[in-house]
A and B are shown apart, each in its own frame.
Chain A
Amino acid sequence: MRRINTDRLIAFLFLSPSILAILIFVYGFIGWTAWASMLKWNDLIMIPKGSLFPKVPFAQLENYIRLLTADQRFQTDLRNTVVFTIAFIIGCLMLGLLLAILLDQGIKGEGFFRGVYLFPMAVSFIVTGVVWRWLLNPGNVSSGAVGINLLFEKLGVPFLKSAWYTNPEVVFIQPTSAAGKFLGEIGLNFLTTAKFGVPLAILSVVLAATWQMSGYTMAMYLAGLRSIPEELREAARVDGATEVQVYRHVVLPLLSPITLSAVIILGHISLKIFDLVSAMTGPGPAFATDVPAYYMFDTVFRGNHFARGAAIAIIMLLSVAVLVIPYLINNIRTEVTQ
């Protein structure tokens, strides 16, 4: 008995460096950032020796208020993140589900197709960014069409050519359109501004991100499909369901937990996307492809606006936490009850 107690102590001692590291590097640092975000610290100020923060006045929530009410760039970033997240999640889910269902039909060369759809996961967002930057380069007067645009020309479909990530256009509901007038009547006319529009340039970044991540949803859905017992589908068929109805009423409902997991994973990737934007476009025309992570990097490490950057980081953290914490708690709870 005594022996086992010593062993318990040893076990805990082996784990304690990790606990300590997480306490400092995750929770301590988050606390530090949260505090820094409430200081008037938007210049390069030396931190006195032995201290954690520079001697600057407390600013309360000033940095947050400025970001959320006055900072045009940050508001553009929020719009971009929302558009990016929605388009990216929908793209990955639809493409992933389609591919998984098709691959589940007893396809010759399934392994090959799976490999082709999945390999982009193995490369860096930086590589993806560099390649797609050239593929979606609209070209200029001296170079003529290049990349995908050139391919469209060669294939005889030049009308598909696009300005891709250089397109400054923002599509939004026009106040003079029928939908716009309706929104105006019910007092929602703020929705008919570019602030609530879709910047076309960011859809090119979504395309590259979907290229990289849709194989992941494909793999998750495929694993889910394989875990559904054939008898269930057979039973539905015996009851006279068509193949489409089998999917609609039997298979898809069983896949919904996977959809939830995928939304969480893809959502938290897109809320903190940085590498891809950095390598592919940077802030883009009129900040059309700028995102909070890029703004944070820019403003802290190029502009020395530490408090503003810290406030952006905390807003990012909160948005991810809202997404992840309920999911995490739910997962742990089901595990404990099992």
Chain B
Amino acid sequence: MTIVISPRLRRRLKPSRILIYIILIAVAIFYLLPVYILVVTSLKSYAEVKLATMWSPASGFHLDSFRQAWFGDPAKGTLGLGHNFMNSVKLAIPATILSAMLGSLNGYVLSKWKFRGANVVFPAILFGMFIPYQSILIPLVQTLQTASRTTRPWLNSVATWHLPALLQWVPNLITTYMPAYGTIGGLVLVHIVYGIPITTLIFRNYYTGIPDELVEAGKIDGAGFGGIYRHILFPISMPAFVVVLIWQFQSIWNEFLFAVVLTNRAEVQPITVALNNLAGSFIVEWNVQMAGALLAALPTLLLFILLGRYFMRGLLAGSLKG
């Protein structure tokens, strides 16, 4: 019996094509090594975690490391990352939404309501995207510390308010989101301000692609600045919003420099700072560090897996080519 190989299959099995696949797979293995070690280590039971067997697969589905990463270990006095994870949620969600809304309005003005000097203002805003934040860090800390000192007496009085049970959450909300040093609100403010360049850029490019005739038609129908935005541009802005929301969420979630400089207490620190502290600690085992790293990576990884397409667009917009 002879084996018949179709010409198509033969072309597909050319040695050069096999080589291509070998290279692609080899590189893929290199990219997935850290994921493998993260997942395998996180799933091992305490008995299994040994550096000498770190590459062996886990025997089953154990959540010991996760539990310890999330809740901490009271016996050693280590705090869990669970609280910091929630801090990151409380930080990233409002900051992302607010900065997307601001970017949308800015982009609208800079594309459809160009004023004299707009061609200077736009690049001047854009430059803020590239600066090393070290060059604004010291005054930023001092400004927020001043804000903190100024508002502290008032915040202390807020805590003593007598409120009905239904409104008990109000003082807590105010202290959390007060834009000052060492609060989540301070970080929200900082991420909104330094997010202005990239969000404005993406929205401006998106709105520039929308024909001016649409805006003119709106003007003829008697719509003004707000009406045109609400009824014409905002309803078709979804694609740009998705890109900006994903981009901002992942940059704010992953951010470290502002977080480490502007928060000094574990109760308000985002997860990147807590994870960095965990990694520098000699009393926390490496499997717990791995589980912590997986926890910190999970939200943005899920976002990437579910909405990778839009993720890419944000990425390419970052290179000013959107």
Interface of A toward B, CB cutoff 8 Å: 3-4, 6-8, 10-12, 14-15, 18-19, 21-22, 25-30, 32-33, 36, 47, 95, 98-99, 102-103, 105, 107, 113, 115-135, 139, 143-144, 146-147, 150-151, 154, 211, 215-216, 219-220, 223, 261-262, 264-265, 268, 271-272, 274-275, 278-279, 282, 292-293, 296-297, 300-301, 306, 309-310, 312-314, 316-317, 320-321, 324-325, 328-329, 331-332, 336
User: How far is the CB of B245 from the nearest CB of chain A, in Å?
Assistant: 14
**Which residues of A have CB within 8 Å of B272?**
124, 126, 275
Q: How far is the CA of A332 from the CA of B276 in the complex (A)?
A: 39
Q: How many residues of B contact A (CB 8 A)?
A: 91
Whether A3 touches B256, Cβ cut-off 8 Å, given contacts A130-B293, A262-B319, is no
User: How far is the CB of B53 from the nearest CB of chain A, in Å?
Assistant: 9
Tell me if A134 and B289 are in contact (CB < 8 A). Answer: yes
Q: How far is the CA of A328 from the CA of B126 in the complex (A)?
A: 8
Q: How far is the CA of A126 from the CA of B278 in the complex (A)?
A: 11
Given contacts A32-B138, A117-B28, 6 further A-B contacts (CB under 8 A): A33-B136, A120-B34, A130-B275, A130-B293, A146-B54, A329-B123
**Which residues of B have CB within 8 Å of A154?**
55
Tell me if B312 and A26 are in contact (CB < 8 A). Answer: no
Tell me if A122 and B131 are in contact (CB < 8 A). Answer: no
Q: How far is the CA of A151 from the CA of B113 in the complex (A)?
A: 60
Partner of B109 from the list A15, A127, A265 (CB cut-off 8 Å) is: A15
User: How far is the CB of B308 from the nearest CB of chain A, in Å?
Assistant: 6
Partner of A103 from the list B24, B109, B279 (CB cut-off 8 Å) is: B24
Whether A8 touches B113, Cβ cut-off 8 Å, given contacts A115-B308, A316-B134, is yes
Tell me if A268 and B135 are in contact (CB < 8 A). Answer: no
Which of B165-173, B176-184, B192-200 participates in binding chain A? B192-200
Q: Is B63 an interface residue (CB 8 A)?
A: no
- Binary contact readout B110-140 vs A (1 if CB under 8 angstroms, 0 otherwise): 1001010001011111111011111111111
Q: Which residue of A lies closest to B289 (CB)?
A: A130
User: How far is the CB of B19 from the nearest CB of chain A, in Å?
Assistant: 9
Tell me if A32 and B320 are in contact (CB < 8 A). Answer: no
**Which residues of B have CB within 8 Å of A329?**
123
Q: Which residue of B lies closest to A26 (CB)?
A: B128
**Which residues of B have CB within 8 Å of A215?**
31
Q: How far is the CA of A265 from the CA of B129 in the complex (A)?
A: 11
Partner of B256 from the list A113, A125, A264, A309 (CB cut-off 8 Å) is: A125
Tell me if B196 and A122 are in contact (CB < 8 A). Answer: no
Tell me if A126 and B256 are in contact (CB < 8 A). Answer: yes
User: How far is the CB of A32 from the nearest CB of chain B, in Å?
Assistant: 4
Tell me if B32 and A18 are in contact (CB < 8 A). Answer: no
Tell me if A36 and B125 are in contact (CB < 8 A). Answer: no
Q: How far is the CA of A116 from the CA of B254 in the complex (A)?
A: 19
**Which residues of A have CB within 8 Å of B250?**
122
User: How far is the CB of A95 from the nearest CB of chain B, in Å?
Assistant: 8
Central interface residue in A3, A12, A331, by most chain B CB within 10 Å = A12
Q: Is B37 an interface residue (CB 8 A)?
A: yes
Tell me if B286 and A134 are in contact (CB < 8 A). Answer: yes
What are 25 A-B contacts with C-beta separation under 8 Å? A18-B102, A22-B128, A22-B193, A22-B196, A29-B136, A30-B136, A102-B23, A103-B24, A115-B304, A116-B32, A117-B31, A118-B304, A122-B303, A126-B256, A127-B254, A128-B34, A130-B290, A130-B292, A133-B279, A143-B51, A216-B315, A293-B134, A321-B130, A328-B127, A328-B320
**Which residues of B have CB within 8 Å of A11?**
108-109, 113, 115, 225
Whether A126 touches B276, Cβ cut-off 8 Å, given contacts A15-B106, A18-B200, is yes
